[in-house]
Amino acid sequence: MPTCDIPQEYQICPVPYFHSACFKECNSGTARAKRSAAFQNLTFNQNGMQYGLNNDIHEAGNSCTGNCGDAVGTVYTRWGRKTCNNGSSELIYEGIVGGSWFEHTGAAVNPLCLPTQPLWNRFNDGLSNHAFMYGAEYEGDSNSIFSLQNSRKLYNENIPCAVCRTKSRNSIVMVPARNVCYPGWTLEYQGYLMAGGYGHKASSMYVCVDEAPEVTESGFRDEDGKLFYTVEAKCGSLPCPEYIDGRELTCAELYIQDGEERHVTMDRQSIVGGSWYEHTGAAVNPLCLPTQPLWNRFVEGSTNHAVMHGAEYEGFPAGIFSMQNSKSRTLLNENIPCAVCRTKSRNSIVMVPARNVCYPGWTLEYQGYLMAGYLGHKASSMYVCVDEAPEVTESGFRDENGKLFHTVEAKCGSLPCPEYIDGRELTCAKLFKFSLNLRNKI
């Protein structure tokens, strides 16, 4: 831990810590405002290096410039573009989208934004046929859906990306099925949801691609790799007519600046959406969808490339979840609601599996049970933490399948027993901490 040269009277946080190894950080906007004037010319030293109030590191004897606000920001990826929102974000690096081959059953699901100039360490040249990284291409009806103001066409073109850092926002969220802001939030960019083809062997993830995408300089090559398709709504457990069968879903990246905690609202109740449980090319990440979607350009009718279904509770024994918030005596086959939340003053939040009690120094946001897709289904899934007293949507019991949630049981073997117990349902908890104490580790 560096030795701080800041006078004691300005050390506002109850638990001191250093943000980006550069300056003392606190929770409230008021604390930052007090610090802004008082700390302008202050530094702290570690190992002969002098650190100022921004994220830069300078040799001893050279002063830093900037103020506390310079180091407050959130990193996100702008899929399909080479630049960031210049007025509000700074470019960390321009890159190309990479991922797994669309027909590999053991594919890594998450696309990455790869730098255009990779750096290497130790290596063994030649293919070992274990895990690969490919480039990515636009597929499907992308030419009809997206704006072509930044390219003449998109189909089979390679996909660029940009990793960006917001200059003054401390919260950013991707909202599916909307391209207009909620009150209190500001638009970073809007676009369309994209994912892999549901019939492919490789699973994928839903991502938000800019509505006016660019292509890489390599041009049209049609060499496949990681393939991106627009995502269409699919009626059933996904409520229609609010959602329209076969219509392409929009998305938006929204941000809010620190201190804007008042009058910030999203939908009072949203619904969980995801891929069909038997689709081999399923997008693994469930999304929290608004109950009233908003549309942009679309092509009516299903193209059967990438789809969005609703979600249902499935296959867990009675007595696991509390029924205090459910309108029915059972959760089985009920549709699943969700809420997108923003902590107003927590600096760190983490989901801890197999625990429902806090670690020292942390506070409980909520506790529940781990849930995921069924192990025998064709679709891959993700572990999520579902509240121990879950609710159901107003549409009620429908048993129309879609994205299915099962409780997760421990399985002895490489998982150590008797600490874990074979066949027992695993708990989970969301924990938060008001300020990051670098000396506390979990």
pLDDT at 30 over 70: no
pLDDT for the residue 117: 84
CA distance 223 to 236: 35
361 CB-near residues (< 8 Å, 6+ apart):
433, 437, 440
Say whether both 13 and 162 belong to one domain.
Answer: no
Say whether both 278 and 228 belong to one domain.
Answer: yes
Say whether both 242 and 272 belong to one domain.
Answer: yes
pTM score of the predicted model: 0.72
CA distance 264 to 393: 23
Question: What is the C-alpha radius of gyration for the chain, rounded to an integer number of angstroms?
Answer: 24
Which two tokens mark 250? 């929009």
The region, left, alpha or beta by phi > 0 then psi within -120 to 50, assigned to residue 66 is left
Whether 412 is covered by a domain: the verdict is no
Range of the domain at 172: 73-116+132-340
Least confident of 67-81, 199-213, 417-431: 67-81
Residue where one domain finishes, among candidates 297, 313, 340: 340
Whether 442 is covered by a domain: the verdict is no
pLDDT for the residue 397: 67
Whether 100 is covered by a domain: the verdict is yes
Residue where one domain finishes, among candidates 290, 325, 340: 340
Say whether both 60 and 101 belong to one domain.
Answer: no
Whether 56 is covered by a domain: the verdict is yes
DSSP 70: G
Which two tokens mark 252? 């938006």
Q: How far is CA 123 from the centre of its chain?
A: 31
pLDDT for the residue 75: 85
SS3 at position 58 = strand
pLDDT at 210 over 50: yes
What are the C-alpha distances in Å from 250 to residues 64, 207, 258, 395, 404? 42, 11, 26, 23, 23
pLDDT for the residue 259: 56
SS3 at position 143 = helix
Whether 127 is covered by a domain: the verdict is no
CA distance 58 to 60: 6
Which two tokens mark 41? 């010319």
Q: How many domains does the chain have?
A: 2
pLDDT in tens, 333-355: 888 898 887 776 656 778 888 88
pLDDT for the residue 318: 66
Which two tokens mark 47? 């190992």
* Cβ neighbours, 10 Å, residue 309: 26
Exposure on the CB side of residue 39, measured as CA atoms within 13 A: 31
- Calculated CA dihedral for residues 108, 203, 192, 270, nearest 10 degrees: -110
Residue 117, judged by CB atoms within 10 A of its CB (0-12, 13-18, 19+), counts as exposed
Q: Taking all residues of the chain, what is their mean pLDDT, rounded to a whole number?
A: 75
Say whether both 215 and 259 belong to one domain.
Answer: yes
The band of 177, judged by pLDDT with boundaries at 50, 70 and 90, is: very high
Start-to-end C-alpha separation, the chain: 18
pLDDT for the residue 380: 87
pLDDT in tens, 236-278: 888 888 999 999 999 999 888 755 543 345 555 688 999 988 8
pLDDT at 428 over 80: yes
pLDDT at 57 over 50: no
Closest CA to 352 of 433, 271, 435, 270: 433
CA distance 133 to 121: 16
Say whether both 41 and 99 belong to one domain.
Answer: no
CA distance 318 to 297: 45
Whether 61 is covered by a domain: the verdict is yes
Whether 436 is covered by a domain: the verdict is no
Q: How far is CA 380 from the centre of its chain?
A: 17
Whether 379 is covered by a domain: the verdict is no
DSSP 155: B
DSSP 71-135: G---EEEEET-SS--TTTEEEEEEEEEEE--TT-TT-----EEEESS----S---S--SS---EE
DSSP 379-442: S----EEEESS----TT-B----SEEEEE-B--BTTB-TTTS-TTPBPEEEEEEESS--TT---
pLDDT for the residue 220: 64
